[in-house]
Amino acid sequence: MEEAQTELLLCRDVSLGYEGQPLLEHLTFSVKPGDYLCVVGENGSGKSTLLRCLLGLLPPLSGEIVRAPSLRSGAVGYLPQQTRAQRDFPATVWEVVLSGFLNRRGFRFFYSAAQKSEALMNMGKLGILELRDRCYRELSGGQQQRVLLARALCAARQLLILDEPITGLDPAAAQDLYKTLEYLNSREGMAVVMVTHDLQPALKSARTVLHIGRSGWFFGTRAEYLDSPQGRRFREGGERA
Amino acid sequence: MFSYPFMQRALTAGVLVSLCCALLGVSLVLKRYSMIGDGLSHVSFGALAVAVALGFAPLAFSIPVVIVSAFFLLRMAGHPRWNNDAAIAVMSASALAIGIVVISLTTGMTTDVDNYMFGSVLAMTDTDVTLAVALCSAVLALFVLFYHKLFAVTFDESFSRATGLRVDLYNSLLSVLTALTIVLGMRMMGAMLISSLIIFPALTAMRLFRSFRAVVLCAGGVAVACFCAGLAVSFAYSMPVGATVVLADLAVFLGACLLGKAR
C-alpha cells in the first residue's frame, strides 16, 4: 500500500493475544506523523497487549504491524507505567534522562556533547532543568513523570507511546501533563499514542480514538467516536469507559 | 598477620569477591532480587555437599548447578503469576535440606557442614584465588563496558526493552556472574552469610548517595573496607571470618542510617 510510507505505525488486520488465545481480532488502524491517538477500553480488554505489540515486544498472532523506517531500531519514546522499584531508585534526574539515548549510542562509553545538549533542551521543554542534579526518588509523582517524558524525548523524535501516564498523579499534576503533551503534539509535531482510563480530559486533546471492548473495537476521529455507540454511552452517562 | 600464605590468599580472594558482590549487589537490590543471592548460596551449599559425597571436583560440579539455578530463579522472579519470594524460599530450603541429608549420609555432620555454612579462611586454595582474580576482572570489565546499559536495565526494564536493548542478555549475564561470585565466595564466607555481602554494601551506599554512579562506587569501597576490617578482627580473635565481615557491614550500615537521618 502506498500509504504505508507516510504512516508511522500501521496495524493491518491484526489479532493479539497470548499463547494462541486471541484477545483482540482483526484490528486495523494507523498513526500518522503528528497524530494524537487515545486508546481506551475496559480493564483486561487488551490495551497493554496492544502497546506491547506496537513497541515490538510481542509479535501479533496474525496480521501485520508496519513501522515507518524512522521508527525501526527502537526509536520510540516510551513512557511505561512506573514500577515499585523505581520509587526509591538512587539516580539523579540527569542520569535518568541521558539513559534515553542508549539506543542511539552504540558502543561508545560516554554520551556525546550533542546528546548532552539535546538532553538539556528536552529537559527545558518539560521545565525540569533546575531538577538536573536532584535525586529521582525525592521528586513528586508529577516531576517523576516529566523526567521519564524527557527521557522518552531523548529516545525518539517522532512518536511517544504512553501507558496510563496519569496513574498516581494528583489532578493538578495530571492537568499539567496533558498540557505538556498537547504542547509537544501541536508545537513539536510529536505523534502521541496514549493508553488511558481518564477519558474525559484525554479526549479533549485526542485527534483519533481507538476504543477496545471485549465485544469489538472502534477506531475513528474524536467526533466520530463521540457519535459511535461506545462514545455515546460515555457522553450521556459521563461515565468512565 | 600476612606472613601466613593462607591469609594472603584469603585477603586477595576476599577483597575481589566482596568487590564483585557489591557491584552486582547494587543491581540485584535495586531490581528487588536480594533474595536470589540467598537462594543461590543455599543451592551452592547443596551442590557442594553432593559433589563431595559423590567424589566430584567441588567447583566443577557446583558452578554449573548454581548457574542453572540462577537462570531458574531469575525467570521465576520475573514471572507475573508466581509467588516469587515464596518460590525462592522453597528452593533454598530444599537445597539446604538435600545438602544436609547428603552430608549426614556420607561423612556425618562433621566440620564440613560447619565450614560450608559459616565459612573458613583456610578454605581458599590457589585455584580459588586464580578463579577469583579472573572472575573479578570479568565483573569489573562488565561494569565499565556496560555501565550505562546496566543502569538502564536496572532502572527500567520495559523502557530498555522498548528502545531495543537486549534486556534478557544483560539479565542472564548478571545472573551468571552472581552465581559464580557466590560459589567462590561461600567457601570463605559461608552459605549463611554470603548473601549479606551482596545486600549490605548496596543498602549502605543507597543511604548515603543520590546518584547511581556514586552508589556503585561507594558500595564497592564499603565492601572492600568491611572485608578487610572483618578479616583483621577474625584473625585477631580467631572467629569465623564470615560473621565478622557481616558484623562490620552491619556497623557501617547502621552508621550510614544515622548519617542519612542526620542530614
Give the ipTM. 0.81
Per the CB < 8 Å rule, is B151 touching A90? Answer: no
- Contact yes or no for B139/B24 (Cβ under 8 A): yes
C-alpha cell of residue A201: 480530559
| Same domain membership, residue A222 and residue A107 | no
Q: Which residue of B has its CA nearest to A82?
A: B156
Q: What's the whole-number average pLDDT of chain A?
A: 80
Q: End-to-end CA distance of chain A: give it in Å, rounded.
A: 34
Rounded to the nearest angstrom, the minimum Cα separation between A5 and chain B is 22
| Same domain membership, residue A2 and residue A50 | yes
| Same domain membership, residue A126 and residue A64 | no
Helices B194-208, B34-54: axis angle to 10 degrees equals 160
| Same domain membership, residue A146 and residue A52 | no
Residues of chain B scoring pLDDT < 70: 1, 77-80, 107-113, 123
Model confidence at A236: pLDDT above 60: no
- Contact yes or no for A122/A150 (Cβ under 8 A): yes
- Contact yes or no for B17/B185 (Cβ under 8 A): yes
Rounded CA-CA distance B196/B198 in Å is 5
Rounded CA-CA distance A81/A184 in Å is 20
A198-220: per-residue pLDDT in tens?
A: 777 777 778 888 888 777 788 88
Rounded to the nearest angstrom, the minimum Cα separation between A79 and chain B is 7
C-alpha cell of residue A3: 500509504
| Same domain membership, residue A191 and residue A208 | yes
A-chain residues near B213 (CB < 8 A): 95
- Contact yes or no for A202/A33 (Cβ under 8 A): no
CB nearest to A96's CB, from B149, B155, B213: B155
| Same domain membership, residue A188 and residue A128 | no
Rounded CA-CA distance A129/A132 in Å is 6
C-alpha cell of residue B234: 577474625
CATH number, domain containing residue A208: 3.40.50.300
Rounded CA-CA distance A191/A189 in Å is 6
- Contact yes or no for B114/B62 (Cβ under 8 A): no
User: ∠ at Cα B175 (B184, A107), nearest 5°?
Assistant: 115
* Final residue belonging to a domain, choices A131, A155, A179: A155
Residue B249: the pLDDT is 93
CB nearest to A74's CB, from B32, B145, B162: B162
C-alpha cell of residue B13: 580472594
* Final residue belonging to a domain, choices A99, A129, A155: A155
* Final residue belonging to a domain, choices A129, A155, A181: A155
| Same domain membership, residue A59 and residue A47 | yes
A130-176: per-residue pLDDT in tens?
A: 888 899 988 888 888 889 989 988 888 788 888 888 887 888 888 88
Question: Taking the CA of residue B106 as centre, how many other CA atoms within 13 Å lie in the half-sphere pointing to its CB?
Answer: 16
pTM, full prediction: 0.83
Domain count of chain A?
Answer: 2
| Residue at A133 is within a domain | yes
| Same domain membership, residue A228 and residue A166 | yes
Question: Taking the CA of residue B218 as centre, how many other CA atoms within 13 Å lie in the half-sphere pointing to its CB?
Answer: 21
Q: Which residues contact B14 (CB under 8 A, 6 or more apart)?
A: B124, B188, B189, B227, B231, B241, B245
Model confidence at A31: pLDDT above 60: yes
A5-30: per-residue pLDDT in tens?
A: 577 888 888 888 777 777 777 888 88
Rounded to the nearest angstrom, the minimum Cα separation between B151 and chain A is 8
For chain A, the residues whose C-beta falls within 8 A of a C-beta of chain B are 55-57, 73-76, 78, 80-81, 83-86, 88-92, 95-96, 98-100, 102-103, 105, 109, 111, 134-135, 138, 148, 151-152, 155, 161
Model confidence at A3: pLDDT above 70: no
Residue type, A230: Q
Model confidence at A44: pLDDT above 60: yes
Q: In CATH, what is the architecture of B5-262?
A: Orthogonal Bundle (1.10)
| Same domain membership, residue A135 and residue A120 | yes
| Same domain membership, residue A35 and residue A18 | yes
Exposure string of A168-191, with b = 16+ CB inside 10 Å and e = fewer, is: ebeeebbebbbebbeebbeeeebb
C-alpha cell of residue A126: 518539560
Domain extent, residue A199, equals 1-76+157-241
Rounded to the nearest angstrom, the minimum Cα separation between A52 and chain B is 8
| Same domain membership, residue A163 and residue A239 | yes
| Residue at A81 is within a domain | no
A-chain residues near B144 (CB < 8 A): 109
| Same domain membership, residue A134 and residue A98 | yes
Helix (H) or strand (E) holding B43: helix B34-54
Which has the closest alpha carbon to B177: B155, B150, B217, B216?
A: B150
B3-19: per-residue pLDDT in tens?
A: 788 888 888 888 988 99
